[in-house]
């Protein structure tokens, strides 16, 4: 088998910095974790918050701390620092080679989507962001790693796209239409979701938008781990 992860990310219109932070870390007992946080408001202040949360979580995961405990620790640290005045969403998607499972940790009112083949399970149970109070619990979902599994996680910029114009995004419907195609790559799915949202926002995203897609594919290729990153930069780089 092969686990494939794709991310597509865009800033709110006319802001130079995204309030969303996403990073990947290797787990000390095998596998990897993708950590996504969306700090309250947008721009520089939100970026500092989401970076702090992601740093904290990644540092703990790298030490072997379990995902749920890392989320609680980050929440406590944020609450202690900001006294509940600033919150941040958090999603962790972990491939845990030790247990043979994918572990999904969520402190984010935005739903996530667990797809098996073309069947989509929207998971939108109530979930409180980090830093809101003293005792924030993450929702944890653990799924065996098996081919055909696709997981979609996003920040609320995707969910709320188009609302300004009264043409809200239907994320589940968009996922469905892409999955109908023959075995789309996770990058195709992430790009399609983002493109649909940006189009509904008339090419001026009303919020930072991040889309993360994790797919388990039947093994086809070699033993090589691969990663690519593409970072557009302005002509005037100091902007």
Which residues lie near a second copy (CB under 8 A)? 1-11, 17, 21-26, 28, 30-32, 51, 55, 59, 62, 95, 97-98, 100, 145, 186-187, 190-191, 194, 219, 221-233, 235, 237-238
Closest approach of Cβ 172 to a second copy, in Å?
22
For residue 65, the minimal CB distance to a second copy (Å) is 13
- Token look-up 């830093």 returns 131
Q: Return the half-sphere exposure (C-beta side, CA atoms, 13 A cut-off) of residue 60.
A: 19
Please name the residues in contact with 156: beta carbons below 8 A apart, sequence gap of 6 or more. 38, 89, 108, 109, 110, 207
Distance (Å, rounded) from C-alpha 69 to C-alpha 84? 19
Comparing CB distances to a second copy, the nearer of 134 and 202 is: 202
Short-list 111, 103, 104, CA closest to 158: 111
Residue 30 or 117: the one with the smaller Cβ distance to a second copy is 30
- Taking every pair of C-alpha atoms in the chain, what is the biggest distance, in angstroms? 50
Strands 20-26 and 101-107 come out as unpaired
Which residue lies nearer to a second copy by CB, 26 or 202? 26
> Which one, 182 or 223, has the nearer CB to a second copy?
223
Q: Specify the residue, 43 or 59, whose C-beta has the smaller distance to a second copy.
A: 59
In angstroms, give the least distance from the CB of 134 to a second copy. Answer: 27
Dihedral of CA atoms 46, 51, 53, 59 in degrees, nearest 10, equals 180
Nearest to 8 by CA among 129, 185, 168: 185
Q: How far is the CB of 154 from a second copy (least distance, A)?
A: 14
Q: Residue 148 CB, nearest distance to a second copy (Å)?
A: 15
C-beta of 73 vs 139, nearer to a second copy? 73
Least Cβ distance, residue 110 to a second copy (angstroms): 19
Strands 101-107, 2-10: pairing kind? unpaired
């Amino acid at each position: 088998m092969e686990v494939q992860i794709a991310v597509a990310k865009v800033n709110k219109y006319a802001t130079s910095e995204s309030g969303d932070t996403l990073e990947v870390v290797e787990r000390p007992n095998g596998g990897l974790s993708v950590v996504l946080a969306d700090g309250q408001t947008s721009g520089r202040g939100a970026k500092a918050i989401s970076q702090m949360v992601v740093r904290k979580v990644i540092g703990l995961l790298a030490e072997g701390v379990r995902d749920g405990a890392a989320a609680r620790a980050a929440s406590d640290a944020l609450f202690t620092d900001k006294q509940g005045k600033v919150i941040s969403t958090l999603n962790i998607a972990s491939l845990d080679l030790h247990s043979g499972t994918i572990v999904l940790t969520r402190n984010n009112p935005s739903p996530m989507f667990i797809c098996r083949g073309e069947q989509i399970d929207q998971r939108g149970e109530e979930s409180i962001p980090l830093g809101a109070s003293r005792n924030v619990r993450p929702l944890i979902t653990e799924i065996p790693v098996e081919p055909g599994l696709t997981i979609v996680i996003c920040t609320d910029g995707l969910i709320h796209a188009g609302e300004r114009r009264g043409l809200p995004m239907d994320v589940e419907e968009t996922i469905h239409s892409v999955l109908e195609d023959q075995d789309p790559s996770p990058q195709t799915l992430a790009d399609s979701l983002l493109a649909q949202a940006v189009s509904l926002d008339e090419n001026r995203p009303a919020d930072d938008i991040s889309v993360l897609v994790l797919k388990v594919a039947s093994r086809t290729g070699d033993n090589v781990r691969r990663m690519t990153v593409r970072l557009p930069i302005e002509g005037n780089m100091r902007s």
